[in-house]
Structure 1
Amino acid sequence: MSQPSKILIVEDEMVIGANISLQLSSLGYEITGVIPRGEEAIINVKQDTPDIILMDINLKGALDGVETVKLIQKEFDIPIIYLTANADDAHFNKAKATNPHAFISKPFKKLDLQHAIELVISKQDLKHNATKTVEDNPSPFILSDSIFVRHHEKMVKVDIKDILYIEAERNYCRIHSKSKEYLLVITLKDLDEKLPEMHFLRIHRSFIINISHIDEVATSHVVIAKKAIPVSKTLKEELLKRLHTI
């Protein structure tokens, strides 16, 4: 019998948090904690890592919900469901940047929350099964001028000069080339270590770019093939150094 999914509730209104905990416990989920502050939530995640986090966006204290999630995502890949009483565009867009699995406005019905959690679990199961089915999927085979990647049960050659950028999708990478896209079962970190440095540079935790295809460099992003790609402040200096040497 499979273990119940573990859920952490981060909610600074303890009456609401306790109510959610009771509802989810009655549905068979294991609650790892009902935490009112972002700082405490980070500690809790490290001590007893949950399968899902329910996160109130408008936390009181030094960290709001989105800032808390950003810090958690530096170390953990945990699905996030945001809860908020303030569903305006500014809050939504700020939360959206952290790629949550769901966004629920308060007050919400028990069934809405139940369905959101079930959808997250379903997606995670699909991803897990997909990973199992490609256990014999070879890593990309990289030559000086090309990469061989798995595509439709075959290994196909992708010329390095045709690769525009590579985007992280959790434990996968999506190669965007001039003509096609390829989804690889490899993390961006692992792929970055394999790619030839003279062509590629990681400019963000979610993006590696082919330097030769940069059309524009702005303050916080670069443009490649009309796509605005964010640049991390810590990696901007390395990008500018590389451009000076071309």
Structure 2
Amino acid sequence: MGIPIKILIVEDEMIIAANISLQLNKLGYKISGIVSRGEDILNSIKKDTPNIILLDIQLKGKLDGIEAAKLVQKEYEIPIIFLTSNTNDTYFNRAKEIEPYAFISKPFKKLDLQHAIELAVNRMMSEDKLIEKNGETNNSPIILSDRIFIRCNEKMIKISINDIYYIEADRNYCRIFSKNKEYLIVITLKDFDEKLPNEYFLRIHRSYIVNLFHIDEVAGSHVVISKKAIPLSKSLKTDLLNRLQTI
């Protein structure tokens, strides 16, 4: 199973927010936070960056949902799905400027919520949209919280982060060893290490980054992942053992 999509709920009616959270958990999504005011949305994102934001248009407080969305878009490229009980043209025309991934009208059914999020996820995974939103060159990997896209034979190939076992340096290249295949990409291990989500990956040697969730054995000078012995630097062993205690 892959790493679940994280969703931030921005809704000032706590009963509605709690119900949305419950429904999303049942659908297999993870809630990164629940916020009731537009003024607090950036702090929540900094604490735990979501993949998608569910945002009520008519928030109480200094910022309505549309103004809060504008703040988000100044700093982040996070898909937004608007929740609304007001369908008048003024709100709709203002909201269109944000280019939301979907609108959900209140009251909504569980299926409405599910379909809107699935459409947003599919759009996120679109190769052209990912390249456009991340501003990457054709050869650079696109790294999201739960997957990466790499250029392979003129196509962008998706690799689930959960499927990556370890990464090995090869001069200015990196070899990704995954559950089903090996990939070679043009990026240094140092640059790759800076981009990867550190909650899953750790550099344990000058030439190796490992996925902590796939370590089968830790020995004196190496770790074992899928029957492969990977060298472990003495100076990094304590850090590794500490990290393993937190997962």
Compute the TM-score of the two structures, normalised by the length of structure 2. Answer: 0.53
Alignment pair present for 1:135 and 2:138: yes
| Structure 1 residue ranges, 4+ long, deviating more than 4 angstroms after superposition | none
1:126 Cα offset (Å): 1.6
User: SS in structure 2 opposite 1:58?
Assistant: coil
2:93 paired residue number: 93
Per-residue CA deviations over 1:17-61 (Å, capped at 9, x if unaligned) read: 000000000111000111100111121012211000000000000
| Matched-pair contact (CA < 8 Å) for 2:123–2:129 | no
State the AA in 1 paired with 2:138. Answer: E
CA distance in 1, matches of 2:11, 2:101: 18
1:5 paired residue number: 5
2:189 paired residue number: none
Per-residue CA deviations over 1:115-152 (Å, capped at 9, x if unaligned) read: 01001101111237964997349xxxxxxxxxxxxxxx
CA distance in 2, matches of 1:129, 1:106: 28
CA distance in 2, matches of 1:4, 1:128: 22
CA 1:51–1:128: 2 relative to 1, 3 Å? farther
State the AA in 2 paired with 1:86. Answer: N
State the AA in 2 paired with 1:19. Answer: N
1:29 paired residue number: 29
1:13 Cα offset (Å): 0.2
| Matched-pair contact (CA < 8 Å) for 2:124–2:130 | no
User: SS in structure 2 opposite 1:31?
Assistant: strand
CA 1:52–1:130: 2 relative to 1, 3 Å? closer
Compute the TM-score of the two structures, normalised by the length of structure 1. Answer: 0.53
1:170 paired residue number: none
State the AA in 2 paired with 1:20. Answer: I
State the AA in 1 paired with 2:27. Answer: L
2:120 paired residue number: 120
User: SS in structure 2 opposite 1:74?
Assistant: helix
CA 1:129–1:12: 2 relative to 1, 3 Å? closer
1:40 paired residue number: 40
State the AA in 1 paired with 2:9. Answer: I
Aligned residue-pair number:
138
Per-residue CA deviations over 1:178-198 (Å, capped at 9, x if unaligned) read: xxxxxxxxxxxxxxxxxxxxx
Amino-acid identity (%)? 58
Q: Name structure 2 gaps, 5 residues minimum.
A: 141-153, 155-247
Tell me how large the CA RMSD over aligned residues is.
2.3
State the AA in 2 paired with 1:118. Answer: E
Q: Name structure 1 gaps, 5 residues minimum.
A: 138-152, 154-246
CA distance in 1, matches of 2:32, 2:57: 19
